[in-house]
Amino acid sequence: MDFELSEEQKTWKKIVHDYAEKELRPKAREVDEKEEFNWEAVRKGGPVGLLGLNIPEEYGGSNVDSISNSIAMEELGWGCGSTALAFTAHNGLGTAPIAIFGSEELKKKWLPLVATGMNKLGSLALTEPGAGSDIQGGVLTRAVRDGDEWVINGSKMWNTNASIAEYIITLVRTDPKGGSKSLSMILVPTDAKGLTIHPAEKKMGLRGSPTHAVTYEDVRVPMGYLIGPEGRGLQQTLATLDAGRISIGAISVGLARGAMEAAISYAKERKAFNQSIADFQAIQFKIANMDVEIELARTYIYKASWLKDQGRPYSKEAAIAKLYATEMAERVIYDAIQIHGGFGYSREYHVERMYRDARLMTIGEGTSEINRLVISRQVLAG
Ligand SMILES: Cc1cc2nc3c(=O)[nH]c(=O)nc-3n(C[C@H](O)[C@H](O)[C@H](O)COP(=O)(O)OP(=O)(O)OC[C@H]3O[C@@H](n4cnc5c(N)ncnc54)[C@H](O)[C@@H]3O)c2cc1C
């Protein structure tokens, strides 16, 4: 067993940290306040390799290992939750399904386009107004064959990046009879006729990450835009979400770490009863708990990532990593606000935004309840 990052991974951590410190952190509050996407930073992320984390080098990507992906997500989450979410929605959801399951033609046409930062990003639409956790039973968006095209009709909900994407990978029902082989993934360019991307949702947090409802009215795409074999959409989705869960966990670790750092510097400066509040044991214990929880979450995220890198099963470990890290981030940021006292409740202080940003993490890419289901099923099956 080796808990040491490789030299390459340490260098990568520094590169992404420096990028996050320079490009994300300084604008994190502004993008939240103005509900603006930080395009400038994301464009600069292209040459760093942050837009091609899951894209093989032959298609212009950096194709990093899963531990390096987790390292990057933690640093991005530390820098800005909103922009980190856009990065993970692009890499893990918007490009990985093409890189893993797509045809050579799709890879050549779309992956180099979205890896550079010169163009728009990728996105994935699974969720619908009536279906989130229950994708297998609930997805109503239909695709039917017509000659050499698919014709798509339906509605999607909560699509991260839709308005800043070149395409939306869309989970559709291709077999109306239902069952585990009735869903498929189809790439839909965002300029397709009949596709409407609705105005950005007004959200509690992650306000610098655009999220949209999308409707499809007789949208036509070529037959070759099917990703993977017809009827494999559910299995492809579950595999995509396994990896995505590790990334959401890693972003949560980054958010928690940022909040802990803010709490420590505040605690050292703030005086009460003629002493620094960092001298009170009650504050010291909160900080100890934060450190324990962040260390444990990160270590487990690395374990799940390592299993993925070894090509071994990791669904349960990804669910544990996400469940623990996302709920941990809420606890840590809650305490970080507590340490800030009244100022922690003010928009002037970063911890307030971090708290709102972290709230999504126990919901997206599998709620805490669904992750507990994934874990308990495997535990009970022995
Ligand atoms: C900011 C944001 C960004 C998002 N980005 C994307 C995106 O890019 N692409 C995309 O496809 N989706 C995206 N989503 C959607 C997200 O993945 C879903 O919201 C999530 O999967 C939950 O689905 P739901 O909202 O329909 O809740 P539901 O599935 O309706 O669940 C409601 C509640 O019931 C619980 N529940 C449901 N089933 C069970 C069960 N069997 N046992 C116990 N409890 C259960 C849930 O845990 C939850 O507490 C995003 C959501 C948000 C808020």
> Which one is catalytic: 8, 74, 365, 369?
365
Q: SS3 for 269? A: helix
Dump the DSSP string for 106-173: HHHHHHHHHHSSSS-EEEEE--BTTBSS-HHHH---EEEEETTEEEEEEEEEEEETGGGEEEEEEEEE
What are the tens digits of pLDDT across the range 157-212? 999 999 999 999 999 999 999 999 999 999 999 999 999 999 999 999 999 999 99
Q: Give me ligand 1 centre to Cα 360, in Å.
A: 10
Q: Which residues pair with 154 in a beta bridge?
A: 216
* Atom from ligand 1 closest to the CA of residue 161: 8
| Separation in Å, CA 376 to CA 122, 167, 226, 372, 373 | 33, 36, 34, 6, 5
Q: Give me ligand 1 centre to Cα 263, in Å.
A: 31
Percentage of the chain beyond pLDDT 90 is: 99
* Atom from ligand 1 closest to the CA of residue 373: 42
365 catalytic residue (yes or no): yes
Q: Do 162 and 214 touch, CB atoms closer than 8 A?
A: yes
- pLDDT confidence bin for 40, thresholds 50/70/90: very high
Alpha-carbon distance of 72 to 79, in angstroms, equals 11
Q: Which fold has domain 234-380?
A: Butyryl-CoA Dehydrogenase, subunit A; domain 3 (1.20.140)
pLDDT of residue 298: 98
* Atom from ligand 1 closest to the CA of residue 125: 11
pLDDT of residue 36: 97
Torsion of the alpha carbons at 59, 65, 68 and 72, rounded to the nearest 10:
40
**Which one is predicted more confidently, 1 or 123?**
123
Q: Is 1 exposed, middle or buried (0-12, 13-18, 19+ CB in 10 A)?
A: exposed
Architecture (CATH level 2) of domain 7-121: Orthogonal Bundle (1.10)
pLDDT of residue 174: 98
What are the tens digits of pLDDT across the range 71-129? 999 999 999 999 999 999 999 999 999 999 999 999 999 999 999 999 999 999 999 99
Alpha-carbon distance of 146 to 136, in angstroms, equals 24
pLDDT of residue 142: 98
Asked whether residue 2 carries a pLDDT value surpassing 90, the answer given is: no
Q: Give me ligand 1 centre to Cα 288, in Å.
A: 32
- Tell me, what amino acid is at 105? E
What are the tens digits of pLDDT across the range 306-347? 999 999 999 999 999 999 999 999 999 999 999 999 999 999
- Extents of the domains making up the chain: 7-121, 123-230, 234-380
- Smallest CA separation from ligand 1 atom 27, residue: 132
- pLDDT confidence bin for 249, thresholds 50/70/90: very high
pLDDT of residue 382: 82
Alpha-carbon distance of 324 to 216, in angstroms, equals 36
Asked whether residue 1 carries a pLDDT value surpassing 90, the answer given is: no
**185-205 as b/e, with b when 16 or more CB fall inside 10 Å?**
bbbbebebeebebeebeebeb
Dump the DSSP string for 17-70: HHHIIIIIGGGHHHHHHHT---HHHHHHHHHHTTT-TTS-GGGT-----HHHHH
CATH placement of domain 123-230: 2.40.110.10
| 220-227: average pLDDT | 98
Which residues form ligand 1's pocket by a CB distance below 6 Å?
89, 93, 123-127, 132-133, 158-160, 203, 206, 211, 360, 363-365, 367, 369-370, 373
